[in-house]
Amino acid sequence: MTVRIVVLAKQVPDPETPPSQFKIDESTNSVIPPNGVPLVVNGFDLNAVEAALLLRDGGADVEITVLSVGNEFVMDAMKKPLAMGADRLVLVDDEGLDKIDSSATVKVLAAAIEKDGPFDLILGGRQASDWDQAHVTLGLAEVLGLPLVSLVQKLELNGDSVSLQRVIPDGYQAITAPVPAVLTITNELGEPRYPNLRGIMQASRKKPEIFSLADLGLSAGDLAPKLELKKLYVPESNKQVELIEGEDEADSGKKLALRLREEKLI
């Protein structure tokens, strides 16, 4: 029996972008797109792709669909999961998806999954590297009425259930969840595999399946934001340095300890 897996993926600016290129227009509460910075697939979502591929490597018969919502997709970036080994790429591409919030993203994803599904597992990265909100996958589980396990570092299919290791601060939890389920995958799973030449060539020949909002029975009016962004700004950093000097290292250490105690830091 083929297990159908959908992996949620988001196109984001390269997180390695130098901070000096990050600019904000405070009058519109928006990020100014930096020039020359490539768009990539969110790295945590690539961990989710890797999790699905590891299930296949372990002998499971899986079909892996990568699903993304947005517009102006860069195909060289979005086809990376296909080059890694995913089977399909489904894009919901519409101008009305330019600046939607996480609640609207959930609504669009749920409609796309209903149209293209059903799926046995829905995997997403632990968060997206642009806003770091970690809202979408959790909200999707709520809307679809499916069980959710977050921060998964290892998974194994067992018929109609999945065995999981969920990361916690001092170790991990061993959890068994029914299928279908929604999982968020953490980077503790391990580095995503690098596409080989054969995978890159195969991906270049695959065409994404593209839906519009109309195809999903939605309109821009259905995606009214539920989150209000009050203020977006780059916090100012005010650093003060005090040099502690002594006659030797031991004396310097003693004076440092006394100074820290005065500040009630120790």
168 plus 263 within the same structural domain: no
139 plus 259 within the same structural domain: no
The pTM for the full model equals 0.84
* Domains identified in the chain, total number: 2
Is residue 26 a part of any domain in this protein?
A: yes
Task: Give the CATH number, domain containing residue 63.
Answer: 3.40.50.620
pLDDT of residue 186: 95
Contact indicator for 156, 58 with CB cutoff of 8 Å: yes
pLDDT of residue 73: 94
E-only strand ranges, 37-144: 39-41, 62-70, 88-93, 121-125
Residue appearing with tokens 């697939």:
41
pLDDT of residue 194: 95
125 plus 255 within the same structural domain: no
Mean pLDDT across the stretch 26-45?
Answer: 84
Domain around 261: 236-266
Distance of CA 210 to the CA centre of its chain: 21
Provide the 3-class DSSP secondary structure of residue 76: helix
In this predicted model, what pLDDT tens digit does every residue of 171-184 receive, in sequence order?
999 999 999 999 99
pLDDT of residue 225: 86
86 plus 61 within the same structural domain: yes
pLDDT of residue 117: 82
Which strands, in side-by-side order, build the sheet including 88-93? Answer: 171-178, 161-168, 148-158, 181-185, 121-125, 3-8, 62-70, 88-93, 209-211
How far apart are alpha carbons 65 and 78 in whole angstroms? 12
217: phi > 0 → left, psi -120 to 50 → alpha, else beta; which? Answer: left
146 plus 34 within the same structural domain: yes
Give the pLDDT band of residue 244 (cuts 50, 70, 90).
Answer: confident
Per this entry, what is the length of the chain? 266
149 plus 260 within the same structural domain: no
Is residue 229 a part of any domain in this protein?
A: no
Is residue 157 a part of any domain in this protein?
A: yes
Mean pLDDT across the stretch 12-17?
Answer: 85
Q: Is the pLDDT of residue 197 over 90?
A: yes
The rounded mean pLDDT for the chain is: 91
Is residue 230 a part of any domain in this protein?
A: no
Supply the Cα-derived Rg of the chain in whole angstroms.
Answer: 23
Is residue 231 a part of any domain in this protein?
A: no
Give the pLDDT band of residue 13 (cuts 50, 70, 90).
Answer: confident
162 plus 37 within the same structural domain: yes
In this predicted model, what pLDDT tens digit does every residue of 200-241 receive, in sequence order?
999 999 999 999 999 999 988 889 888 888 888 877 777 778
